[in-house]
Amino acid sequence: MNILLIGSGGREHALAWKMKQSARCSNLYIAPGNAGTSFVGENVAIAADNFPALGKFCIEKEITLVVVGPEAPLVQGIRDYFENTNELKHILLVGPGKTGAQLEGSKDFSKQFMLRHGVPTAKARTFQSHESTQALAYLDQCKPPIVLKADGLAAGKGVIISPTVTEAKQAIYEMLVDKKFGEASSKVLIEEFLDGIELSVFVLTDGENYVVLPEAKDYKRIGDGDTGPNTGGMGAVSPVIFADSGFMKKVETHVIVPTINGLKKDGIAYKGFIFIGLMNIKGEPYVIEYNARMGDPETEAVMTRIDSDLVELFEACAKGELRNKMLQINPQYAVTLIMASGGYPDVFEKGHAISGLTTAGPARVFHAGTSFTENTIVTSGGRVLAITGNGHSLEAAAKQAYETAAKISWKNAYYRKDISQDLARLEKSTGK
Ligand code: AMP
Ligand code: GLY
């Protein structure tokens, strides 16, 4: 079948790489894609939110399956657009509709959803712009650190963790009154701080049935030892040692099952990924957030551990036929390292030529922010490459990723030197 994948990051390069291995995949198109995806399929210069142009392309190329990578087109209603357009409604699509995508698009919606369906999460109160006085008064009763969350999508920057009540007051004023994140912060959640170890769990569901993908740990801060500002993610590791089978069983019973049942009870048809950001607090799972898509860079680690045919799974998901589908997961480790532009997540330069790509290996090099200038591959984003090493131990996987990264360079390239080391220490100390 002909497939259209929407998006342009490392996640999409990894999804494209995995889908292309399927015997069911004939032509693979990526809109808009990056330099890396052009080696796997054919890039199409259509923006991820240009639904009419994407629809027209699907008809022209006889696309059977559309897979949506990033959240923006989902929140904007790409599924609804396809379902409500006569010539497009037959096309299979992986990704929830506009209402389901609110699990990610509105933190207030997802919090109310979790409370309504008994999914363990942090306590929170929501305040609107005209309630800033009440919000400030409420903060006086809170114990720091205090978590503030802009309700809407804020490019990964909408969560502020304030160490003191005074700083929280300043921050909430900026969000609610000064509209620091525009409309996204016209509602703000004041949330209890969860103290534990974080991990990402991924579920592919057709709204009735589900498969659980390999879990992963993300490294969000820019600096070694989890220091400095938050980023989109600077690395990922899978499997995660503290997510043993007992913990994952709890995740399934306390989180995944109530989430899928909750969607059904609320009448929300959901066909796509649910990415559950979890905190493990003394062995108990608490949900930090839902996303309506796969994680990035977690996908670049997770895809290398899936042996099943991804296209077959996507087809089953979109048709509502995931029942009895099993996911074959291989036991090897995956360590993904993000090579970023110097200066990211603040100001950084683009357009630097990348050297070493053709000779680098043996780790897999997924492209995240790259493009072509004539025939040269150049940097075009903050996160540039996602390098995934695999191996039968965490150390072996990390070694492969780091050795490969050392062969690639461009002006001011930066990467963390400690991805996976915390888990290696934990592995040693617990003897697992
Ligand atoms: P988000 O933008 O929702 O992904 O949140 C960004 C990060 O903030 C999360 O990955 C967590 O590390 C942190 N975070 C969010 N909510 C909480 C919470 N209630 N307690 C502790 N950390 C949190
Ligand atoms: N790596 C975190 C995310 O994709 O949101």
pLDDT tens column, 184-226: 878 999 999 999 999 999 999 999 999 999 999 999 999 999 9
Residues of the chain with CATH 3.40.50.20: 2-97
Other C-beta atoms lying within 10 Å of the C-beta of residue 374 = 5
pLDDT reported for residue 63: 98
**Which sign does the torsion angle of CA 341, 346, 351, 352 carry?**
negative
What residues are in contact with ligand 1 under a 6 Å CB criterion? Answer: 122, 147, 156, 158-159, 191, 193-194, 198, 220, 277, 288-289
Beta-carbon neighbour count of residue 229 at 10 Å? 12
d(CA 405, CA 49): 33
DSSP assignment letter at 303: G
The closest residue, in CA terms, to atom 8 on ligand 1 is: 159
Instruction: Using the structure block, give the residue that is written with the tokens 């895809």.
Output: 303
| Distance, C-alpha 86 to centroid of its chain | 31
Give, for ligand 1, the residue of 114, 288, 291, 294 to mutate: max count of ligand atoms closer than 8 Å to Cβ.
Answer: 288
Round to whole Å and give the CA distance between 380 and 205.
Answer: 33
Distance 151 CA to ligand 1 centre (A): 13
Spacing of C-alpha 313 from chain mean position:
19
The DSSP bridge pattern shows strands 284-291 and 272-281 to be antiparallel
Confidence check: pLDDT of 312 > 80: yes
Q: What is the mean pLDDT of residues 265-292?
A: 97
- Gap between the Cα atoms of 430 and 422, Å rounded: 12
Residues present in the chain in total: 432
* More confident call, 168 vs 301: 301
Q: Which residues line ligand 2 (CB under 6 A)?
A: 218, 233, 291, 295-296, 298
How many whole angstroms from 221 Cα to the centroid of ligand 1?
Answer: 12
Burial of residue 141 (CB within 10 Å: 0-12, 13-18, 19+) is: exposed
Residue 73 C-alpha from the chain's centroid: 14
Nearest CA to ligand 2 atom 4: 295
- Dist. CA 295–CA 273, nearest whole Å: 10
Query: Above 70 in pLDDT, residue 431?
Result: no
Nearest to 267 by CA among 39, 146, 97, 141: 97
Residue 425: band (very low, low, confident or very high) from pLDDT cuts 50, 70, 90: very high
* CATH superfamily for domain 123-192: ATP-grasp fold, A domain (3.30.1490.20)
- Mean local confidence (pLDDT), 33-47: 98
Give residue 183's pLDDT band: very low, low, confident or very high (50, 70, 90).
confident
Ligand 1 midpoint to CA 159 (Å) = 7
Least confident of 113-117, 143-147, 284-288, 367-371: 143-147
- Kindly state the percentage of the chain with pLDDT values over 70: 99
Q: What is the CATH number of domain 2-97?
A: 3.40.50.20
The boundaries of every CATH 3.30.1490.20 domain in the chain are 123-192
- Arithmetic mean of pLDDT, 339-354: 97
Cβ–Cβ under 8 Å, residues 255 and 287: yes
- Tell me, in angstroms, the distance from the centre of ligand 2 to residue 137's CA: 33
Question: CA–CA separation, 297 vs 381, rounded Å?
Answer: 14
